[in-house]
Copies of this chain bind each other. A is one copy, B any other.
């Protein structure tokens, strides 16, 4: 972050029906292969344009899975392109399951696994989003694999969608809400992984559309990195995220997807130029905001 002076995370959610203009596909390709090639070209162009103002990319795993068989190879190529551009990788799959299953997901996201057939590579992500609903023993395998790979996890604490009210916001008999209990779990699990900067390897997804939650979230998770989705398309504003940066500039990762990839629709210009300008605008806004302490 310090090197790039950026807390911006470039969300990569490619919709085959809404890609940047490019060469038409080869006619003879199957739909999934043609879509896969076009998605990869789009993602590379997006990273080339907006990457310099960002510290990480956040590929949305759903979008690659929807491509079918070629999806995982496209995802791997996007991750490789981001790494070559000096960016960290946050795999956004919101996985959650128990013991050996969680271990298989974690192997797939982080360092891969040993097998009688040799080592099978994982995605090599630096962080991955994890759904905490199933509790500690469902989170543990992700954290274990992440730590073995020098990576981290981001638990869903208070998401940016209206439905967050249905379960996450429920008030508990013992006081507080479900999301506040999850926040306490983030703090507990991260205690063993606090680095030199005072930031732990267990972070939290806290929607930027509800900035009034940020103060309380920071109180409960003083050492967690917050991944803040919801900027732009979902209505969140960088200027309201101050509490996220309380532990320092590394305390907040500001995620933006559509507001960068579709900036040309709002601001004109070529998609690449508009993405470059918007990502740089967000970078500057977050960096300046996080200095005011």
Contacts and interface: CB of A to CB of B under 8 A. Distances in A.
B72 A68 contact: yes
A135 B17 contact: no
Interface stretch (A82-90, A91-99, A210-218, A244-252): A91-99
Nearest to A71: B72
A122 B66 CA distance: 7
Contact of A116 (B17, B159, B178): B17
A281 interface: no
Given A60-B101, A68-B121, A96 B131 contact: yes
A119 interface: yes
Contacts of A63: 101, 104
Contacts of A116: 16-17
A208 interface: no
Contacts of A139: 163
Interface of A: 13, 15-17, 25, 29-32, 34-35, 38, 60, 62-63, 65-69, 71-73, 76, 94-102, 104-105, 107-108, 112-122, 131-139, 156, 159-168, 170-174, 178, 181-182, 185
